[in-house]
Structure 1
Amino acid sequence: MPTVFRYSRPVLVALTLGLMTTLTACSTDTAIPDSSADAPIPVDVIAATATAQQQMLRYTGTIQGAQRVPLSTKLMGIVTELNVETGDRVRKGQTLVRVRSENLEAQKRQVNARLQGARAALQNAKINFERIQRLYKQKSATKKAFDDAQTAYERARAQVEALNGQLAEINEMLAYATVDAPITGYVVDKRTEEGALAVPGQPLLVVETLDALKAVVQVPEADINRFATGDSVTVEVGAAGNVARRGVVTQIDPAGNYASRQFKVQVRLLRQNMGALKSGMYAQVLHPSGVEQTLTVPEEALVTRGQLTGLFVVKDSTALLRWIRTGEQRGNRIEVLSGLRQGERYITSISGRMRDGQPVRPR
């Protein structure tokens, strides 16, 4: 016979209450699906279309003054006077550096003394030649006397001319004992000090005009024929707050660098609100290279995840995250190089609730 358990009424009540508590706890731990999570979100959708865009080729360079002049001397000697510091404004003709020139001054005095004697000798030779010439015409002097007087006169004149040449050469060298500013501008580089040795051909100072600026860029040989003098270009300077200035190509070097195969191109910045531009800043020159069909999207349509950039395309009323490769920024639109095809629909503005696979409802 089966065993029959008999419980008293209090025990049955206790078992019933325990079972009800367990069922209540289990029903509380079970999550109720939130139907609002999959509710379609209204979004603005547009089809990707290619538009004609002016293509720009970029070349890197440096901002410089319109005139930049290294100053040196042909005279070797000690710098005895240096009147400027880096950043000083100088005017054209102002003496900036003096180099010791005592030896040249001594040579000049010697040549002047010899020249004075040579001029006296020339005067005597001239008087004697004119006297012999008159006697020779009167048949009172021999042909030999006339020739000797003429030779002495020409020799004295040649001696004076030679000494005058030496004096001019010394004066020219003495001119290099003082270094004057060839332009009005600023001292942008100081490479010597008082008491230092000045070496011929080695720059002592660099003077630059900063009232007018230019950009100097290196252009590869494959692109140099795109440039022509007078071309209008855009110059961008990131260090000056990403300012963009118009410029004009003023000079194209006819010969490139044999090692790098690049050509130097100079772009004069137009005189309009130079602002924070300074010589030495890194610059980019944008040169137009024709019109191409380009896909662009609004900047607010993009999402970033670390170093990845993407946007949400819409397919079958679902937002799908698509990673793309971007190019240049043109105003508030970004060029899309790959990852998006023409005609595909994408969301133009991303909200914080958007996720991959989110149901959407185009407005």
Structure 2
Amino acid sequence: MYDHFRNKGLHFVFCVFCTVFFVGCEPGTDKLEVREKIKKVEVFIVKTEDFEETIVASAVAFAHIEHRVSTEVSGLLKIKHARWGDRVKKGETLFEIDSEGFILIVKERKAALARALAQLHFMQAEQKRKKSLLQAKTLSQAGWEKLQFDLAAAISEKNQAQIALSRAQRNLRLTVLKSPIDGMILEDYHDMGEVIPVGTELARIADTTWIRFDVGVSDLELPHLSLGDLVPVTIDALGTRQLKGEITRISGNASPTRGIFPLEVRLENAERSILPGMVARLRLSGEKHKTQVIVPMMAIHQENDIPFVFLVQDQKALRRPVKLGKVLGDRVLIQEGLRTGDAVVLIAQGRLKIGEGLDVIQASAKP
């Protein structure tokens, strides 16, 4: 009897426990399932915009004006007044070739000219003296003609002596090499004591008041560029500061090897902060587009090579195929599939499914 009542009591307690458990848990489970279905998302509100493609090119800086200082006479490099990195003025002496031998040659040429002049003066006086003899018919015609020949030879010898002296004086002047421009010595190649042959380059000097960048563009990009266009320029060595260059030259002939059209961008460098050899990024204007839909690339999904986006519509996920156009850096042009005002999902909590509930936590009109 006791066992019978005990079993009934246990059965009753078990039934009450189950009832309380199911009644208490079922509503909470429904709420949990609902919470799991709603995902938080960030969206981009579609709008049309005008935009211009940008051609980004890397280029090395060159001095707009550059000169190479080379020898026109050979000799020992005796004095070196400047080295690479020095700033120099136009006409400033840079190098001196040993001039001792050239000075001696000038002296020799002066002596030779003096002899030639003395000979010429003698022949001119002889001509005057013998002219009266010719008139008195005491000098033969052959003797007179011989005198004229000797006089012409004396004149020629004097002229040659003058030319030789001028050449010797010029060579003496060329032993002193001066800067042809205001600028900075980029490189110098020889040391004092070296024997320098004719035509040897001693230094390279640049006027860095203006800097030049040489860029190549394709035949598709060329029609969108014009002389005078301003070009934003950034140089890594100068940080994030943006400079403004200008297109100053466009070639009408493509490179036969690369098939690109060279153009020149010039940039003022009054502070001399840009040095030849620095690498720059230039942003050239490209094709212009009117009223286009552009979205961030991160919003594009693909399945079986078909691109699509997720939209938020009535707080639920909607999948829509799109036709892509040009890729513009981290954005892409949408040719078909979207219209102004569509809310395109950019970021979501986990993978989205069609029809899922969505909670928009942030919306942006900027791609």
Q: Same fold (TM over 0.5)?
A: yes
CA distance in 2, matches of 1:218, 1:134: 82
AA aligned to 1:343 is R
- Does the alignment pair 1:233 with 2:230? yes
For structure 2, the residue ranges without an aligned partner over 5 or more in a row are 301-307
Question: 2:173 maps to which residue?
Answer: 175
CA distance in 2, matches of 1:359, 1:66: 63
- Does the alignment pair 1:281 with 2:278? yes
Per-residue displacement from partner, 1:158-182 (whole Å, max 9, x unpaired)?
1111122222223333333222111
In the superposition, relative to structure 1, how do residues 28 and 211 fare at CA in structure 2: closer, same or farther (>3 Å)? Answer: farther
C-alpha contact (below 8 Å) 2:232/2:284 kept by paired residues: no
C-alpha contact (below 8 Å) 1:48/1:342 kept by paired residues: no
C-alpha contact (below 8 Å) 1:312/1:346 kept by paired residues: no
AA aligned to 1:233 is L
CA distance in 2, matches of 1:311, 1:274: 50
AA aligned to 2:46 is A
In the superposition, relative to structure 1, how do residues 359 and 8 fare at CA in structure 2: closer, same or farther (>3 Å)? Answer: closer
* Equivalent position to 1:343, from 331, 339, 342: 339
Q: How does 1:324-343 map to 2 (within 5 A)?
A: 327-328=327-328, 335-337=331-333, 341-343=337-339
In the superposition, relative to structure 1, how do residues 261 and 303 fare at CA in structure 2: closer, same or farther (>3 Å)? Answer: closer
AA aligned to 1:246 is K
Secondary structure in structure 2 of the residue aligned to 1:84: coil
- Does the alignment pair 1:36 with 2:32? no
Question: 2:288 maps to which residue?
Answer: 291
RMSD: 4.7
Question: 2:188 maps to which residue?
Answer: 190
C-alpha contact (below 8 Å) 2:40/2:348 kept by paired residues: no
CA distance in 1, matches of 2:242, 2:12: 83
Secondary structure in structure 2 of the residue aligned to 1:211: strand
Secondary structure in structure 2 of the residue aligned to 1:66: strand
Q: How does 1:45-194 map to 2 (within 5 A)?
A: 45-47=44-46, 49=48, 51-137=49-135, 139-194=137-192
C-alpha contact (below 8 Å) 1:252/1:266 kept by paired residues: yes
Per-residue displacement from partner, 1:82-117 (whole Å, max 9, x unpaired)?
122222110000011112344433333322222221
Per-residue displacement from partner, 1:244-294 (whole Å, max 9, x unpaired)?
4333333456777654455553322247x7685333222344443442348
C-alpha contact (below 8 Å) 1:238/1:282 kept by paired residues: yes
CA distance in 1, matches of 2:318, 2:191: 68
Q: How does 1:8-47 map to 2 (within 5 A)?
A: 32=29, 33=32, 35-39=34-38, 41=40, 45-47=44-46
Question: 1:206 maps to which residue?
Answer: 204
In the superposition, relative to structure 1, how do residues 133 and 82 fare at CA in structure 2: closer, same or farther (>3 Å)? Answer: same
How does the TM-score come out when normalised to structure 1?
0.72
